[in-house]
Structure 1
Amino acid sequence: MATKTTRRRSPRKSPEERAAEVAALHDLLNDAIGSLVSADGWRAMLRATVANLGRYSANNMILILAQCPHATQVRGAREWNDRGRLIRKGEKALRIFAPMTVTKKDKDGKPVPDEHGQEQRRTLFKAAPVFDISQTRPMNEDEEAQPEDTEPGYQLGGKTTGEVPAELWERLERHAKGHGYTVSLGVTTPADGFTRPATREVVIQASDPEAHRTVVLAHEVAHIECGHVADIEEYRKHRGRMECEAESVAFIVAGVAGLDAALTSVPYIAAWAGKTAEEVRETLTAASETVIRAAKAILATTTVDVEAEAEHAAEEAAQAAYQAERAEMMAAEQQRKAARSAVSTPGVLATA
């Protein structure tokens, strides 16, 4: 006989307890900002962005990395279960901010309408538990098995090399054209590339490796997407932050496409972030939201949707087959009409 199992509910927390938990997260966030003052700290932030883009805010990613510096893929326990993974015994949940919408109610528990008759709602934040993939294991794996090492090793310096993702250059070029800019290869030394707002052109160093040229193009497109080229005086005033933003976006766009740009991006970002710990802190904190927003915008036009493209190709193939069949049927019909006409016309000999 099957027995019914019931999930034990955690005790409900009082408003004061929730407020204290959120306050603790704020304190952790403020402390965590300091972890980004090094190239390694910002690299971890960007690596997490590549893995979790669109899932978490910049603040939540900083919180995650403060609690688990090697985090790459973060989800709630139930979502990990749905993906065939279990939380390892003894693992401590990471805490992030989660929005919670509440409705204002009167003493009888009924919603209080505003002046327009609509329910009055507001958004509060609570602490929510999540886990990194390194804290999980496959459901069919022994509990004693050790988690995989998810921390990549990078040797920094030099130009990005490797296999370039298919069509990434063309998609980046199309994104630039969408903003009214042309893209070309040329001589840009000593720089690897530049954007010229006056003539609406982006020029990339032709002699660089193809992979490096692609990352540089992503960097220049990021300048355009972030709005850095709209006001040159503003760019000169905040050049360090804007260069960090553009290269961070380039790292993310390349990473999502499968091209590891850390070799170039990490030392570049570190060089522009600032000379003191406080300068670096301010630069990277100010850059976070802009980086994620711009990366999302560029990825919307540069990420290949394999399923959509396959479906489109199938539709085109079906349409082509239909047109070919229709043309064949029309040709056959014309032949039959011609044969009937030849038979019914006096003095004309019909031939097979």
Structure 2
Amino acid sequence: MGKQYSQKTLEERKQQMAEILQNLEDGVKEVFTSENYIRYLETFSKFHNYSFNNTILILAQCPQASFVASYKDWTEKFNRIVKKGSKGIQILVPAPKKFWEEEECTRPDGSKYTRKVERRKLYFKIGHVFDYSQTTGDELPSLTQKLEFETPELNRLINSLFATSEVPIHYDYDLKENDANGYYNLVKKEIFLKADLKALHKLKTIAHEYSHYYQETLYKEHTKELDRDTKEVIAESCAYCVIEMLANETNMEKLSSDEYSFGYIASWGSKDLKELKSTLDIISKISNLIFYWVSKQFDVS
């Protein structure tokens, strides 16, 4: 049986929702310092199946969270018990409501009549999840067993990405040591990589340039007004998330955060909340698309 929470009055529920939305707003603003931004990307990479809003809420309430689930899921799916006295992490849970509405219609002869049509509206309610550290019981296989992923596997993965990419990926043998590791050719719609990159840097660069590809195609309406620096941060963020997601599922090494460039982040603090949320939402969506493609090559997803 799920954990029971005391019944609240309508006013108490409104107040609770107002507080969680304020926490969400504060959490978004807190993301935009260099240290907090990396922490947000790491949290998103762990919980990329959760919505952007819930990722922010998990980070704000439990920065050290590693794996979260509802009280019921811990008990029934994972055979683990939530420790007595543990405080649930509040998240927003979709709660669609169905209602009927009268609609005016016109007959072929021009006369009017009304009919009832079913409508649906999406509301949200407050739910609770608990971190792995708040539970006891059976070990989670996903936390104790990871896929072997050394350099040979990584090279095979990269070859598979070349073969299955939606856009052609080539090596540019003219790129010198101090040049960029790769680029996306907007006119040709092709990705080019520096030929002598190590395997992990090839993967990072593919993810980075694939983000540019999606920004200029699938998400063009969302990014067309963004400046070049912002698009670069989005691409670098997606590369970071994809590497983190893969490392969370395998024993693949990760690059140091020093090998990523997020210097432009500090200036984002002056943007309005809607713009900040939109940018983070784009990062989460594109990262998931790239991760889905990459993980399909070796059945991680």
Give distance in 2, aligned partners of 1:240 and 1:294.
17
Shift of 1:96: 0.9
* Corresponding residue number in structure 2 for 1:53: 48
The residue number in structure 2 matching 1:297 is 289
Report the Cα distance in structure 1 between the residues aligned to 2:160 and 2:297, rounded to whole angstroms: 12
How far apart are the structure 2 equivalents of 1:48 and 1:88? 23
Deviation at 1:139, TM superposition (A): 5.1
Contact map agreement 1:50 1:256 (CA 8 A) in 2: yes
The alignment's TM-score, normalised by the length of structure 1, stands at: 0.66
Structure 1: runs of 5 or more not aligned: 1-5, 105-111, 141-161, 309-352
Equivalent in the alignment of 1:130: 129
Q: 1:47 and 1:201 mapped to 2: Cα distance?
A: 29
1:160-175 matched pairs, under 5 angstroms: 163=151, 165=154, 167-174=156-163
1:335 match: none
Is the aligned partner of 1:70 residue 2:57? no
Q: Where does residue 225 of structure 1 map in the other structure? A: 214
Q: How does 1:20-99 map to 2 (within 5 A)?
A: 20-54=15-49, 56-81=50-75, 82-99=77-94
TM-score, normalised to structure 2's length? 0.76
Structure-2 residue corresponding to 1:278? 270
Preserved contact between residue 211 and residue 286 of structure 2 (Cα < 8 Å): yes
Please list the CA deviations of residues 8-48 of structure 1 after superposition, one character each: whole Å capped at 9, or x if unmatched: 85443333322221111111111112321223322222222
Q: What's the secondary structure of 1:120's corresponding residue?
A: strand
Change in CA separation of 1:302 and 1:14 when aligned onto 2, cut-off 3 Å: same
**Contact preservation (8 Å) 1:240, 1:273:** no
Tell me, yes or no, if the aligned pair for 1:114 and 1:120 is still in contact at 8 Å: no
- CA–CA separation in structure 1 for the residues paired with 2:79 and 2:190: 48
Give me the whole-angstrom Cα distance separating, in 1, the residues matched to 2:2 and 2:218. Answer: 55
In the TM superposition, what is the alpha-carbon distance from 1:134 to its structure 2 partner? 2.2
1:287-325 C-alpha deviation (Å, 9 max, x unpaired): 2111121122223322137679xxxxxxxxxxxxxxxxx
Q: Offset at 1:280?
A: 11
Kindly tell me: are residues 57 and 122 of structure 1, through their superposed partners in 2, closer, same or farther at Cα, counting changes over 3 Å?
same
Match of 1:102 among 97, 101, 112: 97
Structure-2 separation of matches of 1:76 and 1:297: 26
One-letter amino acid of the counterpart of residue 72, structure 2: R
Quick one: higher RCO (CA 8 Å, sep 6+), 1 or 2? 2
Equivalent residues, number: 269
Amino acid at match of 1:77: Y
Code of the residue aligned with 1:186 in structure 2: it is Y
Kindly state the Cα deviation for residue 235 of structure 1 after the two structures are TM-superposed. Answer: 6.8
The answer on whether the counterparts of 1:168 and 1:257 sit within 8 Å (CA) in structure 2 is no
**What do residues 119-150 of structure 1 show as CA deviations (whole Å, max 9, x unaligned)?**
3332211111111222222259xxxxxxxxxx
Query: What residue ranges of structure 2 are gaps of 5+ in the alignment?
Result: 104-114, 140-149
Out of 81-90 and 278-287, give the one that drifted further: 278-287
Higher-Rg member (1/2): 1
CA change 1:48–1:113 in 2 (3 A) is same
Determine the structure 2 residue equivalent to 1:13: 8
Identity of aligned residues (%): 22
Cα-to-partner distance string for 1:93-131 (whole Å, 9 max, x where unaligned): 111111112234xxxxxxx44425333332211111111
Instruction: Please tell me the residue identity of whatever aligns with 2:169.
Output: T
CA distance in 2, matches of 1:281, 1:260: 35
